[in-house]
Structure 1
Amino acid sequence: MAFFNPFTWWNGATLGTLIDSWRHGEQVGTDAQGHRYFRAKPNKRNPAARERRWVIYEGANDASRVPPEWHGWLHGRFDDIPESHLPPAKIWEVEYTPNATGTADAYRPQGALERGGKRVHARGDYESWTPDS
């Protein structure tokens, strides 16, 4: 079962974003996860406006799923499409993984309620603080 987030219930894009992408948007690329990236030039009424850039997520809307190179492009750090300027991958680099907080894949240490709430008891090297001492 997928994680339900009440603030992003639409998974992918709102109707307005889909219409805007179809009417004004130009798809410029897709990342490894299937997210589609768009841009729209300023319109005739406001030619001095900045170019608008947006993403339509494949699956759940979660900004942490946007890879760093596309994040930089979305925020206007550079103008060219990221794929044209990426250096070749190094052998020690790992695949990008999105933030798992709030999902079933999240890290849960020993003692977490989701793992039974039992933690290792303190050993003799621990001394609790008391206000009298």
Structure 2
Amino acid sequence: MLKKIFTWWDGATIGTLLFSKLNGTRVGEDELGNVYFEGGRTTDGRPRRWVIYSGSNDASRVPPAWHGWLHHSTDLTPDQLPAPRAWQKPAEPNLTGTEAAYRPAGALERGGVRAAATGDYEAWSPN
């Protein structure tokens, strides 16, 4: 119980959940379990929109269609949008720090061996 009151990095605190239930209207939920709300107005008059993450608070876990809705790029929720095109890949969360992270050739995690420099490279010498 104390963890839910004081920690925000692994999910919403009790205060955020209460605020969302009392001041917002539930708009939808994505396939990851994140819940989206709308309520009130921003200082420029647009509707205030926010997300309650299921699990860790990581913005890369918001699918592109919901990201567009959150940032007022569209007023349509993903269930009102046309189906994704066949060539579109599904969104992935940020993989930095995991085994699936991108590691270019020469990275220490891949052995640290890079291709030799090309012939136009000349090492600097202080002489």
TM-score, structure 2 normalization: 0.74
Render the CA deviation track for 1:2-58: whole Å, top value 9, x for unaligned. Answer: xxxxxx85312123211111221211111122211011135xxxxx85422110112
% same residue: 50
**Equivalent position SS for 2:38:** strand
- Number of residue pairs matched? 120
Tell me what 1:73 maps to: 69
Tell me what 1:12 maps to: 11
TM-score, structure 1 normalization: 0.71
Aligned equivalents of 2:45 and 2:105: distance in 1?
Answer: 52
List gaps (5 residues or longer) in structure 2.
Answer: 1-6
Q: Give the C-alpha shift of residue 70 in structure 1.
A: 1.0
Render the CA deviation track for 1:54-99: whole Å, top value 9, x for unaligned. Answer: 1011222111221222112112223332321x21222222211122
Instruction: Tell me: CA distance 1:99–1:125, structure 2 relative to 1, closer, same or farther (3 Å).
Output: same
Render the CA deviation track for 1:83-133: whole Å, top value 9, x for unaligned. Answer: 21x2122222221112212333211123322334x3135166353332579
Instruction: Tell me: CA distance 1:123–1:129, structure 2 relative to 1, closer, same or farther (3 Å).
Output: closer
What is the alpha-carbon root mean square deviation over aligned residues? 2.9
Tell me what 1:94 maps to: 89
Match of residue 53, structure 1, among 49, 53, 63: 49
Aligned equivalents of 1:51 and 1:124: distance in 2?
Answer: 56
Instruction: Tell me: CA distance 1:79–1:89, structure 2 relative to 1, closer, same or farther (3 Å).
Output: closer
Instruction: Tell me: CA distance 1:124–1:98, structure 2 relative to 1, closer, same or farther (3 Å).
Output: closer
Tell me what 2:101 maps to: 106
**Equivalent position SS for 1:19:** helix
Aligned equivalents of 2:39 and 2:8: distance in 1?
Answer: 25
